[in-house]
Structure 1
Amino acid sequence: MCELLGMSANVPTDICFSFTGLVQRGGGTGPHKDGWGITFYEGKGCRTFKDPQPSFQSPIAKLVQEYPIKSCSVIAHIRQAQPRYRCAGKHSPLYPGTMGAQLDLRP
């Protein structure tokens, strides 16, 4: 089961403090070690970072923690997969689509 972090604000807001806490639960202080991802609007576009590694030891997550994210819309997750779904292609529900990030609702 994934753990999600979402934010919707009327002005661009810093998400780094909350994201840093989520990253630690991604295999460090929590069981969610099967990948992570974050998507947010920046300017007029959507930026997505994702990695199949546990977030607490991911160099990409470290980069994102140090990146000054200020956005009105953010969604992030850390993943704890069932054994049969642990593979590189299924580490993130955030897939690019015609309208930006879409949730993967496959079982």
Structure 2
Amino acid sequence: MRFAGHGDFDRVVVDLQGPMTGYTARWVSKIVQDGSGEAMDVKGGAYLQLTLYPANAHDDVGNSTWVGPRQVTAKLPNVVQVVNNGDFEGVVSIGLVLDHKAGFRVLEQSAPTRLVIDVAR
């Protein structure tokens, strides 16, 4: 996962291994930890939840394949934090903590496989 500012939008890129997985992107009222359903301690003006399925953020013996900390401060104009809030029963969840609600788009890219989330500033 990586992120950067681009002109009038913030971009988050999720690198994937293998073919494109299914996914949804939707507004949620809070970011919750998959499995427990407990609210995560993140503060923002809006929350965008990206859910990947079937997907795993661990290898066959249970070692995490998510590189870096589970909560990353982005310090972009709208994307405040990116949170890995779940790797549970074939579903990986990634929460975008935003300064404010804004238009967004999700793009599928290949070679290498990745999802690109652009959020307007």
TM-score by length of 1: 0.31
TM-score by length of 2: 0.28
- Which protein has the bigger helix share? 1
- Which protein has the bigger strand share? 2
If asked which structure has higher relative contact order (CA below 8 Å, sep 6+), I would say 1
